[in-house]
Amino acid sequence: MGEPVRVLVTGAAGQIAYSLLYSIAKGDVFGKDQPLILVLLDITPMMTVLEGVVMELQDCALPLLREVIPTDKEEVAFKDLDIAILVGSMPRREGMERKDLLKANVKIFKSQGAALDKYAKKTVKVVVVGNPANTNCLIASKSAPSIPKENFSCLTRLDHNRAKSQIALKLGVTANDVKNVIIWGNHSSTQYPDVNHAKVNIKGKEVGIYEAIKDDSWLKGDFILTVQQRGAAVIKARKLSSAMSAAKAICDHVRDIWFGTPAGEFVSMGVISDGNSYGVPEDLLYSFPVVIKDKMWKFVEGLPINDFSREKMELTAKELTEEKETAVEFLSSA
């Protein structure tokens, strides 16, 4: 057993964290022989609830969990971190404009970015989950100038997993038989789930998705809409937002950063767009297909993009550009 890895989860008293913390603590993310220190940050009114979460983590009697630190203070939470998973954000309330939501979150992520800059290791990997995730991630990164931009990513793995699963369900195969779906762009309803480059394993043979499904109108219509609007569909049914599936996607995302992607496979992740070859404007936090090795991601290059895809990729880039402009305005006043 080596040195413990120090992991922060924010919004730690919330429902995504409730599903996430057990998976991390039992070794699903960093491996079965990697000791952990879990730091749990939430706002002051949630401290009593957080105490209950700490009790439950203790009661799981987990061998890898060396220490649990609940706090409402950024200087405690962000100290010497190896990984920061920023789940906490201001949720959208009834009648709230997206602009108001952005403003509230700029404040949070500016503050957390500055705390990362001041207290965390410079090698820290930061994963933003709280929505609007892409723009929150960009703001955190801009507020932490001493930490490399590449160390920041936002979660689009839930969308990626949703796309993978829809294809698997349609074909009657397991999700593991489907690989290399792509989520381009924003973690919003403008995201573009792209299966032009994806493959499915049917009876030991790798086949393209269009060839396997033979239903172009479904792939260009209902499939895309289902993935784009899945979060809203879950809320409508459960009256709560996705938690179990979000936590699973966070585990997948962080595990891939830590251990790398399997050979021949790529995953979707919101990352800084600088230097991409797909015509996405610079300085956006945009979801791309990436491969990961030695804890560093690289763009998957050279995928041919058809006109249908290009239009959808540009649409989501436009939304992200507008979000960024609004957020950067607030940033100077936050």
Q: Which of 160, 187, 197, 253 is catalytic?
A: 187
230 annotated among ligand-binding-site residues? no
127 annotated among ligand-binding-site residues? no
42 annotated among ligand-binding-site residues? yes
6 annotated among ligand-binding-site residues? no
H runs (alpha helix) in the chain: 15-25, 47-59, 74-77, 98-119, 133-142, 157-171, 209-213, 216-220, 222-228, 230-238, 244-259, 307-333
151 annotated among ligand-binding-site residues? no
Q: Report how far apart the first and last C-alpha atoms of the chain are (Å, whole number).
A: 43
Q: Return the exposure string of 188-202: e unless at least 16 CB atoms fall within 10 Å of the residue's CB, then b.
A: bebbbbbbbbbbbbe
208, containing H or E segment: strand 205-208
CB 57 within 8 A of CB 23: no
Angle at 27 between CA 182 and CA 291, to 5 degrees: 25
Query: How far is 216 from 218, CA to CA, in rounded Å?
Result: 5
130 annotated among ligand-binding-site residues? yes
Pairing of strands 125-128, 205-208: unpaired
DSSP string, 123-186: T-EEEE-SSSHHHHHHHHHHT-TTS-GGGEEE--HHHHHHHHHHHHHHHT--GGGEE--EEEB-
Query: How far is 223 from 219, CA to CA, in rounded Å?
Result: 5
Q: Which of 269, 262, 318 is nearest to 290 (CA)?
A: 269
Pairing of strands 5-10, 83-86: parallel
* 160 noted as active-site residue: no
Cβ neighbours, 10 Å, residue 226: 15
**Residue stretches of the annotated binding site for NAD(+):** 42, 105, 129-131
Point out the residues that are catalytic: 187
**Residue stretches of the annotated binding site for substrate:** 92, 98, 131, 162
**Residue stretches of the annotated binding site:** 42, 92, 98, 105, 129-131, 162
